[in-house]
Homo-oligomer: A and B are copies of this chain.
Amino acid sequence: MTTATASRFEELLSTRATIARPRPLQAAGTATYEFGGGLPDPASFPYAGILEATARMLEAEGAEAMTYGDPQGYRGLRELVCDKYERYEGLQITPDSLVVANGSGHALSLAFSALLDVGDPMICEAPTFHGTLFTIRRHGPEILDVPVDAEGIVTDAVRVRLETLRRQGRRCKLIYTIDNFQNPAGPTMSRRRREALIALAQEFGTLILEDDAYGELRFEGEPIPSLYALDDSGCVIRAGTLSKTLGAGVRLGWLCASKEMLPYLQGFNFGGGVSPFMSRVATYYMREHMVEHIALLVDVYREKRDQMLRGLWEPLEGTDAEISHPEGGFFLWLKLPTGADPARLAELADEAGVRYVAGPTFFPNGGGERNVRLAYSYESPEKCYQGGKLFAECIRKATA
């Protein structure tokens, strides 16, 4: 490309294209201890079961799998999601309340596209999942952050944000929240906070986007009804995914929303239907094996969480470090002890072959310098223990 053309092309970019640059991706599994991304446990993938499901599916509906599909997504998968919600939460919905997408990241982006213009205000937890933060930034809104505590999103802080906007004559487009085993901080939003958040959305005329990727992977404690289930006004859009219960490589997620809103969300799906082949393979497998497979995963990830916590606390005992103890999900969230140097920790962890994600990554508008996130999902329980201990030793060394 000549310089003249290159400069011309940059002048042609859309506003959104110039706001956020593509994020770099570190290849997974190249560290000795891969505690970075939320990668599912490879040893639990049901390879034989998936192949068998593919054979059954091709026999039964191969022609439909190989051609264009329903723009709302394969009905069999939507029925499976309904069955899952009823079985795990007692929540009754119909397939008409769902639209399938290529993973929950894509599902969330349907909602952002349908609601956000560049410059629109929205509310987001700080910290929050950095993958979604990237998708949000691609839409160019003004991100107003609110803190998270042991009960989840701090609804008093949400109220302050909403009141400020109202005084400015502006309207919050949506509130994005991760309510179960919040990524990265770990808390599950309490019932009273859920009720307060819904009341706020209703009072101020805004929407809630509830991101629940890990809900079934609960190791202990009682599940709390979803925001979607607690609301009766249609102000909640809920996102889900098969990435954590079957495999992220299938790229299948969905949104639940009111029937009035669903066409607007679905409208941002490109044509052709979402993965007619893959959604059938996943459905045929999960229809037969969902309950046993999820039960297996709960045991697998609980053990990994416990081993990593054990490894971390051995060197950190007696310090003022804080470590989350999530009731499910993939992640631990650490507050480094007083005096720890994050830059020195990064060097030491790199030398030790431990990959993690630094806290500031999860904050929309700064903060988190003393935090780090560790994923226990990918490595074996043994490596979670060893790598956790090694990382905690790095923390000690990085602490003056």
**Chain A interface residues toward B at CB < 8 A:** 1-2, 5-6, 8-9, 11-17, 20-23, 25, 28, 37, 39-40, 42, 45, 47, 50-51, 54-55, 58, 62-71, 102-103, 105-106, 108-109, 113-117, 120, 131, 134-135, 138, 171, 173-174, 202, 205-207, 233-235, 243, 247-251, 258-261, 263-264, 266-268, 270-278, 281
Contacts and interface: CB of A to CB of B under 8 A. Distances in A.
A249 B205 CA distance: 40
Nearest to A120: B14
Given A17-B264, A113-B16, A138-B268, A67 B247 contact: yes
A188 to B, nearest CB: 24
A59 B365 CA distance: 45
B42 A267 contact: no
Nearest to A63: B42
A71 B25 contact: yes
Given A63-B45, A109-B270, A278-B275, A261 B9 contact: yes
A117 B267 CA distance: 18
A5 B114 CA distance: 16
A47 B266 CA distance: 30
Contact of A67 (B6, B69, B105, B248): B248
Contact of A233 (B1, B21, B47): B1
A71 B58 CA distance: 28
